Amino acid sequence: MIYDRFENIRLYYDSIPYLKELNEELTTRDLRKLPVGTYYTKENSVKYMVQEYATAIEKRPEVHGSYMDVQLMLDGNEKFGAFLKIDSLPKSFDDDNDIGFLDVDDRVDIPLKSGSFIIVFPYEPHTPGLVLTHSENVRKIVAKIPYRV
């Protein structure tokens, strides 16, 4: 996982395929006015979603097998649960939607605050959208970047 502030995202262009393309797309949009929904970059059709939701007290950890999550917090704050990388995907893994849920107990909490981002690689369980200090509504971008394990 990578956790940093928006202004440093360029530091990871060489390591993360399509990250430069995604960032260039996002910087041409008014992200605070962009309606909730799913969008794609023009060049390679990298999928990104504008999401709004209320943070939750508890959620089940999720994991992906083929895509990295790039989560950019626009407004609000949440606790982001991070777990150690796993060796294999859960038996109930949904290949069509590239998501599985599992029970793991080695969570480390990261405060994902407005102006920060986190990149989660495949096989890294995570729990986004948790209450940091109190339940609040957040607005964020979640992008899916293809990645081979």
pLDDT of residue 149 exceeding 70, the answer is: no
Helix (H, G, I), strand (E, B) or coil at 53: strand
The enclosing domain of 11 has a CATH number of 2.60.120.370
pLDDT of residue 148 exceeding 90, the answer is: no
Domain count, the chain: 1
pLDDT per position as a tens digit, 70-127: 999 999 999 999 999 999 999 999 999 999 999 999 999 999 999 999 999 999 999 9
Rounded percentage of the chain residues whose pLDDT exceeds 70: 99
Which residue range is the domain that position 17 belongs to?
2-146
Helices (H) and strands (E) counted in the chain, each on its own, are 1, 11
pLDDT of residue 30 exceeding 70, the answer is: yes
Confidence of residue 45 (pLDDT cuts 50, 70, 90): confident
Query: Tokens 């609000």 identify what position?
Result: 76
Phi, psi (degrees; rounded to nearest 5) at 66: -125, -15
**What residues form DSSP beta bridges with 69?**
120, 144
pTM: 0.94
CA distance 52 to 139: 4
The predicted model gives 10-16 an average pLDDT of 96
Alpha helices (runs of H) in 1-149, residue ranges in sequence order? 19-27
pLDDT of residue 134 exceeding 70, the answer is: yes
